[in-house]
Structure 1
Amino acid sequence: MTSPVQLPELPDDGLSGIFDGTVPPGVYRVPSVGPDALLRAQAEDWQAAVLDLGDVTDKAGFLDACASGLELPDWFGRNWDALADCLTDLSWWGEPGGYLILTSGWPAFEQAAPETAAQAAEVLTAAVGYWAVRDASLTALLG
């Protein structure tokens, strides 16, 4: 059995640290993602989306959740390369102060499909790195 991907927990500064820049952009584990995170992102002029992974047990389900939760463009090809392309071209989201991807159901998804979850985390981490050197950063919270 594949062990869970080693990702850091969100530091104590939490959402405030993400928005004020004291917590670096990244892919972080969180105990849960509540509606307050989405509201706070909107208040900070960030674009945010929630990926509901509650019933997701495979790659196709994860990519479908990305397509709907992120409202990906019609050209999204539902594969890892297409997801990476979409996450490095967030033009359909406008030009906010930053981008925040929230997931709910990550632990169950990771348990059901550990290799797919590892690949998803890798794609998210690469996208965070891409945005880290640009005006708007990207952070993903996996809860």
Structure 2
Amino acid sequence: MSAVDLRTILADPDHGGAYFIDERDADAMAQTAASLDFAVMRVDLSGCEDKAGLMSRLATAGGFPDGFGANWDALSDVLRDMSWRTAPGYVWLIENAAPWREAHATDFDTFLEILNEAAFEWAHADVAFWALLPFPGDQLTALEN
């Protein structure tokens, strides 16, 4: 895929959402998003042990406002607002998520649902919102099943 195609795809709010991508594409996606002046938030889940750790890492990467409640409802609220970090689009790179997904399957599904709901809300405002979850290429096929 060419850089022009990737720019076109990322700039389209109607295609935003949570997607599993090949980890080899993560840097290119981040660079392309940055070239569009999107806010790019990288979250590394290496060693993340629980939901509290996930919330903490998201809050740090996103610069969430003081008073962030660190629960699913609060996460949903901040991801659909982002008024403290205005940008023409948003890209979250949730890296090293495979072990966290395996250890916390139900919470992982809730997390994906919240990310997709945020993307849907942002699309109504004509703003692209992406949550990209890089996984090793050999694991992507298993994720699709």
Q: Same fold (TM over 0.5)?
A: yes
Within the candidate set 124, 127, 131, 1:136 is matched to: 127
1:88 maps to which of 77, 80, 87: 80
Aligned-partner Cα distance in 1 for 2:84–2:42: 16
- C-alpha separation in 1, matches of 2:109 and 2:38: 26
Q: How many pairs does the alignment contain? A: 131
Q: Which consecutive segments of 4 or more residues in structure 1 shift more than 3 A?
A: 12-17, 33-36
Map of 1:103 onto structure 2:
94
Cα drift, residue 97 of structure 1: 2.2
With 115-124 and 31-40 compared, the bigger mean Cα shift is at 31-40
Q: Could you tell me which runs of 5 or more consecutive residues in structure 2 were left unpaired when the two chains were aligned.
A: 135-145
Aligned to 2:139: none
2:61 pairs with 60, 65, 69, which one? 69
Q: Which has the higher contact order (CA 8 A, sep 6+)?
A: 2
Equivalent pair of 1:87/1:127 in contact (CA under 8 Å):
yes
Asked if 1:120 corresponds to 2:104, the answer is no
Superposition RMSD in Å: 2.1
Change (3 A) 1:41 1:104: same
Distance 1:110 1:86 in 2: 22
**Equivalents in 2 of 1:22, 1:132: separation in Å?**
5
Identity, % of aligned positions:
31
Distance in 2 separating the partners of 1:132 and 1:22: 5
Q: Specify the SS of the correspondent of 1:57.
A: coil
Structure 1, gaps ≥5 residues long: 1-11
- Write the distance in 2 (CA, Å) between the matches of 1:70 and 1:39: 17
- 1:54 pairs, out of 43, 46, 69, with 46
Q: What TM-score, normalized by structure 1, do the two folds share?
A: 0.81
| CA distances 1:65-115 after superposition (whole Å, capped 9, x unpaired) | 111111111121101111111011111111x22111111011111012111
How far did 1:122 drift?
A: 1.1
CA 1:121–1:24 in structure 2 vs 1: closer, same or farther (change >3 Å)? Answer: same
Matched, 1:36 2:42: no
Cα drift, residue 17 of structure 1: 4.4
Please say if residues 17 and 23 of structure 1, whose CA atoms lie closer than 8 Å, have aligned partners that are also in contact: no
Query: Which structure has the highest helix share of the two?
Result: 2
Give secondary structure in 1 for the equivalent of 2:84.
Answer: helix
